[in-house]
């Protein structure tokens, strides 16, 4: 059984590769884990020796099939726990990431299966992040963001990729949480601003940086 440290490294490699099998730079991994590069190098070598990853010196690291299975299982636990904390325990969605970081290493697969059934087998968590299936399949997502979507078309918010507490609180107070029906009514590259109108609400001004962290799909026509 992998240790919590190993699980953390594998999960972060998976997330940084955006669910694929591309190389992740050591610098990006160090930044994501908030550790010094030397620590990452030592751990990645250990992961390679354990058969969880392939280390390409001066290039990066990628998961093996065994490492990917572990990473997907940890990510599945994390996102199901977040869903439970928000939907059942009614915790604030801006606070559940820290709790899930702890619980993802403690929950057994048997308990996870019961939790999944209790929640109705969700395919995404409260932030819109896809939940890997029990067989290790990641639901496909090919969405655009508010920063590059079509203008004046009905849209539905499907995912918020920045899960810092500050940004999630901003999203919630702006009414842009997943499932919100919106339209982008204007985009000005020179000022770096877009205008979003929520169904039944007043226009909201967003920076292009903030709008790039909110993913959308076609919504309902008015």
How does pLDDT run across 90-128, given as a tens digit for each residue? Answer: 999 999 999 999 999 999 999 999 999 999 999 999 999
Tokens of 52: 């969880």
Q: Is 70 exceeded by the pLDDT of residue 142?
A: no
Is 26 domain-assigned? yes
In 26-142, DSSP assigns E strands to: 53-56, 60-63
Phi-psi region of 58 (alpha: psi -120 to 50; beta: other; left: phi over 0): left
Domain count for the chain: 3
Q: Give CA–CA dist 149/146, Å, rounded.
A: 5
Is 69 domain-assigned? no
Residue that terminates a domain, selected from 94, 116, 139: 139
Q: Give CA–CA dist 190/56, Å, rounded.
A: 41
Q: Give CA–CA dist 9/130, Å, rounded.
A: 19
Q: Is 60 exceeded by the pLDDT of residue 201?
A: yes
CATH number of the domain encompassing residue 208: 2.30.30.90
Query: What is the pTM assigned to this prediction?
Result: 0.88
Residue that terminates a domain, selected from 63, 90, 108: 63
Residue 209 exposure: Cα atoms within 13 Å on the Cβ side: 2
Q: How far is CA 19 from CA 11, 60, 86, in A?
A: 10, 16, 24
At residue 106, the pLDDT reads: 92
Same-domain status, 56 and 81 = no
- Give residue 122's domain range: 76-139
Is 59 domain-assigned? yes
Is 70 domain-assigned? no
Is 71 domain-assigned? no
Same-domain status, 132 and 157 = no
Read off the pLDDT of each residue in 11-25 and give the average, rounded to a whole number: 87
Residue that terminates a domain, selected from 99, 119, 139: 139
How does pLDDT run across 31-52, given as a tens digit for each residue? Answer: 999 999 899 999 999 999 999 9
Same-domain status, 18 and 53 = yes
Q: Among the residues of the chain, which ranges form H helices? A: 4-16, 26-33, 37-49, 65-87, 96-103, 109-118, 165-173, 208-211
Is 209 domain-assigned? yes
In the chain, DSSP assigns E strands to: 53-56, 60-63, 144-145, 155-160, 181-188, 193-198, 203-207, 214-218
Which residue in the block uniquely carries the two structure tokens 């997330």? Answer: 15
CATH number of the domain encompassing residue 90: 1.10.10.10
CB 125 within 8 A of CB 68: no
């Amino acid at each position: 059984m992998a240790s919590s440290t190993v699980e953390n490294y594998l999960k972060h490699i998976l997330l940084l590769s955006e669910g694929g099998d591309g190389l992740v730079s050591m610098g990006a991994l160090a930044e994501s884990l908030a550790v010094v590069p030397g620590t990452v190098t030592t751990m990645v070598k250990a992961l390679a020796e354990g058969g969880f990853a392939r280390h390409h010196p001066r290039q990066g690291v990628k998961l093996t099939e065994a490492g990917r299975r572990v990473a997907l299982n940890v990510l599945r636990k994390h996102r199901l726990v977040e869903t439970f904390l928000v939907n059942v325990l009614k915790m604030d969605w801006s606070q559940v990431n820290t709790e899930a970081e702890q619980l993802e290493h403690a929950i057994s697969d048997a308990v996870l299966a019961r939790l999944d059934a209790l929640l109705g087998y969700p395919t995404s968590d409260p932030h819109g992040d896809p939940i890997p299936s029990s067989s290790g399949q990641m639901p496909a997502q090919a969405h655009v963001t508010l920063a590059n979507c079509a203008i004046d078309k009905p849209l539905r918010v499907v995912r918020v990729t920045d899960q810092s507490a500050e940004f999630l609180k901003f999203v919630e107070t702006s009414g842009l949480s997943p499932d919100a029906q919106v339209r982008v009514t204007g985009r000005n590259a020179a000022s770096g601003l877009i205008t979003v109108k929520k169904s039944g609400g007043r226009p909201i001004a967003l920076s292009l940086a903030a709008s790039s962290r909110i993913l959308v799909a076609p919504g309902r026509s008015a």
